Chain A
């Protein structure tokens, strides 16, 4: 068990709340018809999304999924620029050309959210190859969902990463559904981590709603990869409370199931942990949540004040 500092616990709590408030705001904006486009919410998955990134070292890289807001916030992206991008504004990360599904900060090692399920696996192999070739000592954290592990690219990439000994931690956020399809219907194994056996790499299944377990596991996996021992497959079992994307009536699951998972909410669990271990006072905990909430209100204001992109920008940046 790794002892966690007050500082890291504070960051965990703050950033998980920030991710939750960010996505609640996104959901609200959609419900009011204030945004054109789409987004995929990961409310309920903040432990696997945010906390795994907090285990990264400076200079490590990340490849995110279409359900990537929590991952991005965990990695340290600016919520102002994220919100502006979500709203399609010129000051967003992608100047309004990418939207929620393509948020990226490439210069700082975030090689992007990916609109293609399974699209990030082999990009991560490439990013990891660069680290290995240039001997940077940095690791790539590659996010994917359960559904993506049925893509050929998952298997090809795990194989390549294994035989080339690439520094990658593949983190599968298993939220039990690929859009409407229960993952149990689309694979015959209980734990996705078993797939590591085919590539002779370590595979671990963890409680993806337990922030402390996520942190400790990912930290160990990153150390393993950083030591030049090759890739690791981590499966974090978790759950999304919202539908796949906007317009999902969620006919494929019932309220009881969602309620059961809400009992296991990762933010409430971390709060309980902080209270039980007397790390912070209740007042401090509340203040952190308030600060996180405030940052999202500021982000919305920033986004609303950001101009729309110039129409002429439509022709820019096709080629370098």
Chain B
């Protein structure tokens, strides 16, 4: 195959392609979750995989999230490389002991004698009208746990590259996929060795006036805002920490040194959100001396996600919020 060959496909199909390639490559990769077999998963991500890999490797489970994840940890520690799908990220609450107290710590507390190569796929985020128990963005909880890695792709190509990297990684990797992105389509490399390295912050757009750090579905809104602002002559640089933990801060710090202005944005609730951590790391760094304006955090409101469409949209930053925030920072300096 021509290694530079690309194909347009959705984010959903890209995740499936990445998993499929890795399952063909390594017999130790198995896949567990609720209704992932004949049903194809609640969001159709595993559609058709059971036809190729059968019930031995595509394991439909009872509705027991704690045991799905605990079983994955035990299987990973003994030689398999499980992928688990938790139907909604909200239900990771059930699995926290298995993930946090077992999977994340096993290697360290056993003095390095084990490894836990597993992937936890977590469909997250709001915008689907599913209300408070099916719309959360809980990445900050996971990023608080040494031993876990947390990644979140924003494009189909990133989805494929990161799911493959996550499956090949020898640690528990939480793979957060935003539900609103499933239908987004874009070019994806067909190269089976196309990997996006875990632990790298991606520069999505270059600019000299202002830095926006954001991830997940908000990246798309930030990109749209940047295109709009470019017409006003404002050049926005956008950085995407596609690995949320451990986060690669170097490109972020370098960008802030260059622009002197920064907006950090996420959909998750503001209080205790990852934005606070990113901002703290910026002000602890050399970039502090280069700041020309206060830092702005755009984040979800500190409320549960409501059902009504307008209320729901009001909870999370929109394109217009990015544009306003950029104007505020530019104006504050001029003032």
- Chain A interfacial positions (CB closer than 8 Å to B): 61, 63, 92-98, 102, 104-107, 111-112, 114-116, 119, 121-131, 133-134, 152-153, 156-157, 159-160, 163-164, 316-320
Contacts and interface: CB of A to CB of B under 8 A. Distances in A.
Interface string B190-212: 00000000000000000000000
B62 A159 contact: yes
A127 B74 contact: yes
A160 B147 CA distance: 27
Nearest to B30: A133
Interface residues of B, number: 42
Given A112-B106, A160-B61, A318-B146, A126 B70 contact: yes
Given A105-B113, A318-B147, 4 more contacts: A96-B111, A125-B70, A129-B74, A131-B78
Interface in B91-134: 97-98, 101-102, 106-117
Contacts of B64: 156, 159-160
B294 interface: no
Contact of B67 (A97, A125, A134, A320): A125
B143 to A, nearest CB: 14
Contacts of B111: 92-98, 317
A198 to B, nearest CB: 13
Nearest to A163: B62
Contacts of B101: 115-116, 119
16 contacts: A104-B110, A104-B113, A116-B101, A119-B98, A122-B73, A123-B70, A123-B98, A126-B71, A130-B80, A153-B70, A157-B67, A160-B61, A160-B62, A318-B147, A319-B170, A320-B171
Q: Which 9 residue pairs of A and B lie closest in terms of their CB atoms, listed nearest first?
A: A126-B74, A122-B70, A317-B112, A94-B111, A95-B111, A123-B74, A126-B75, A320-B115, A320-B170
B13 to A, nearest CB: 27
A107 B75 CA distance: 13
Interface in B155-184: 170-171
B72 interface: yes
B67 A127 contact: no
A121 B70 contact: yes
A316 B71 contact: no
A128 B110 CA distance: 20
A102 B110 contact: yes
B110 A124 contact: no
Contacts of A63: 74
Interface of B: 30, 56, 59, 61-62, 64, 66-67, 69-80, 82, 97-98, 101-102, 106-117, 146-147, 149, 170-171
Contacts of B80: 126, 129-130, 133
Contacts of B30: 129, 133
A316 B110 CA distance: 11
Given A95-B111, A317-B107, A317-B112, A122 B98 contact: yes
A119 B74 CA distance: 11
A274 B302 CA distance: 69
Contacts of B74: 63, 111, 122-130
A296 to B, nearest CB: 22
A107 B117 CA distance: 15
B102 A119 contact: yes
A116 B102 contact: yes
Contacts of A95: 111-112
A133 B82 CA distance: 12
Nearest to A94: B111
A128 B74 CA distance: 8
Contact of B79 (A96, A130, A320): A130
Contacts of A119: 70, 97-98, 101-102
Given A121-B70, A317-B112, A129 B77 contact: no
Contacts of B78: 61, 106, 111, 126-127, 130-131
B108 A97 contact: yes
A112 B70 contact: no
A103 to B, nearest CB: 9
B97 A317 contact: no
A112 B110 contact: yes
B110 A153 contact: no
Nearest to A316: B112
B67 A153 contact: yes
Given A156-B62, A163-B62, A319-B147, A123 B102 contact: yes
Contacts of B110: 93-94, 97-98, 102, 104, 106, 112
B102 A107 contact: no
Nearest to A153: B66
A63 B46 CA distance: 32
Given A119-B101, A160-B62, A320 B117 contact: yes
B56 A133 contact: yes
Contacts of A159: 62, 64, 67
A96 B293 CA distance: 48
A96 B111 CA distance: 7
B107 A123 contact: no
A230 B69 CA distance: 21
Contact of B171 (A96, A102, A319): A319
Contacts of B106: 112
Nearest to A93: B111
A126 B61 CA distance: 13
Nearest to B61: A160
Contacts of B171: 319-320
A123 B77 contact: yes
B94 to A, nearest CB: 8
A122 B112 CA distance: 21
Contacts of B79: 130, 134
A14 B111 CA distance: 29
A166 to B, nearest CB: 9
B109 A94 contact: yes
Contacts of A126: 70-78, 80, 82
